[in-house]
Amino acid sequence: MSSDDDRSSERASREETGHAPTEHSGKTTDHGPGTYVRFGLMILTSSLVMYIVMYLNTYSIDHVFWSWTRFFMTMMSAATMTVIMLAFMMGMYRNRMVNAVIVVGAVVVFGAGLALVRTQATIGDVAWMRAMIPHHSIAILTSERAHLEDPRVRALADSIIEAQRKEIEEMKAYIKELE
């Protein structure tokens, strides 16, 4: 068999599996199974960063607690991002079966995250307070730093700040008691 036949057979085999090589700067790059691993690592890394970024709007570092609700929201965001990124990079990810499994998996993860966040079925006393403290902290940050001019609105913001600080301290005390 000639080398032309070998290359033709190899190309046909790669096209069947969806792992067609491409050329970049004269180098052939194989978009095989390893690129799907990298895709998965990219999604996991992005998800971790998204979860952490959700805490950047808390007023104080001591208001940062693990939140299952935020984790469920991260699941939904990651699943959505997975489908969007896969669609935009379809030229790199050509294995239709693997792509279908990824999309179905993303839909399942999104649905699970949505069900968990909407029902709060797994959230007990301590988990609820751990989720509420950062939420209250955001209210303090926005109420304190907003450029409010109307005296009535400023008074409302000040009362929100006072109430949220009191409730945060109360929840922290309950968490210590219940853990």
Question: pLDDT, tens digit, for every residue of 37-65?
Answer: 999 999 999 999 999 999 999 999 999 99
pLDDT at 22 exceeding the cut of 70: no
Among 4-18, 22-36, 43-57, 130-144, whose mean pLDDT is lowest? Answer: 4-18
**Alpha-carbon distances of 135 from 52, 59, 139, 143, 147, rounded to whole Å:** 14, 10, 7, 13, 20
- pLDDT tens figures, 62-99: 999 999 999 999 999 999 999 999 999 988 998 999 99
Q: Which residues of 138-162 are buried (b: 16+ CB within 10 A; e: fewer)?
A: bbbbebeeeeeeeeeeeeebeebbe
Among 12-21, 89-98, 134-143, whose mean pLDDT is lowest? Answer: 12-21
What pLDDT score was predicted for residue 34? 79
Alpha helices, H only, 55-150: 68-88, 96-119, 125-145
Q: Would you give the DSSP letter of residue 59? A: S
Q: How many CA atoms lie within 13 A of 150 on its CB side?
A: 4
Show Cβ contacts of residue 176 under 8 Å, excluding neighbours closer than 6 positions.
none
| Positive or negative: CA dihedral 175, 177, 178, 179 | positive
